Amino acid sequence: MPRFEQRPGAAMIDAMTLLTERNSSPKLAAPAPDAAAREAIFSAALRVPDHAWLRPWRFLTVEGEARRDLGSVLEYSLLRREPEADDAAREKARCAPLRAPLVVVVMARLQPHPKVPPQEQRLSAGCAAHAILLAAEAQGYAGIWRTGAGAFDREVVEALGGAENEEIVAFLYLGTREGRGKALPALAVEDFVAPWTGPTHGKETP
């Protein structure tokens, strides 16, 4: 028995199609993933590779009016970086979280560990972000991973309740795809994959 039921009305998508055809969507409308879909989405995030099982991530959901508060936080962040920012730039920052009915903030929670450097923990949080996008898409929703300068502003992290050892890895915008998905880029596997046949240095010397 699968742990999660398919969302009623959503077309079944097989795992390889999902993995090879996932498509970010900049235009997202309501509805956001419902409670059952979120349970599945965050369960997927909790199953990512995680060295030493540190669980170096946590997730915040921002929706409804809280998106406006996040927008204000992002606008203040912009003004700290660019005090001369014009009205259009301020509005863009302020309204950014309104582009989707649900924003999931993926936080990396970096912990000191003798074998697991911070970079591995950030990567695990990145995997969690990807898992969330995939699990949303698997259930007939859509999303896009965004960051922007605000994500790297310590005061934004603090406004979101983040501690000193926490970082924002993603603002995941989630909802229902508006319009058609964009054409997927045609990338050739062989351009990125090659066999390694041994060290290239020192081959000529005994």
Ligand X SMILES: Cc1cc2nc3c(=O)[nH]c(=O)nc-3n(C[C@H](O)[C@H](O)[C@H](O)COP(=O)(O)O)c2cc1C
Question: Residue with structure tokens 């990145």?
Answer: 126
Instruction: Supply the minimum distance, in Å, between the C-beta of residue 176 and ligand X.
Output: 16
State yes or no: residue 23 binds ligand X (CB under 6 A): yes
**Smaller CB separation from ligand X, 4 or 145:** 145
State yes or no: residue 95 binds ligand X (CB under 6 A): no
H or E, element range at 58: strand 57-63
**Smaller CB separation from ligand X, 6 or 23:** 23
Among 55, 148, 160, 165, binds ligand X (CB under 6 A): 148
Instruction: Supply the minimum distance, in Å, between the C-beta of residue 115 and ligand X.
Output: 25
Using the Cα atoms of residue 120, residue 121, residue 122 and residue 125 in order, give the sign of their dihedral. positive
Residue 167 one-letter amino acid: E
- Residue spans of alpha helices (H) in the chain: 15-21, 35-45, 66-81, 87-95, 118-138, 154-159
State yes or no: residue 147 binds ligand X (CB under 6 A): yes
Closest CA to 105 of 165, 45, 47: 45
Of 70-78, 98-106, 115-123, 141-149: span binding ligand X (CB under 6 A): 141-149
Rounded distance between C-alpha atoms, residue 43 and residue 4, angstroms: 10
**Could you say which residues in the range 33-92 bind ligand X, by CB under 6 A?**
none
Instruction: Supply the minimum distance, in Å, between the C-beta of residue 25 and ligand X.
Output: 8
- Contact residues toward ligand X (CB under 6 A) are 23-24, 144-148
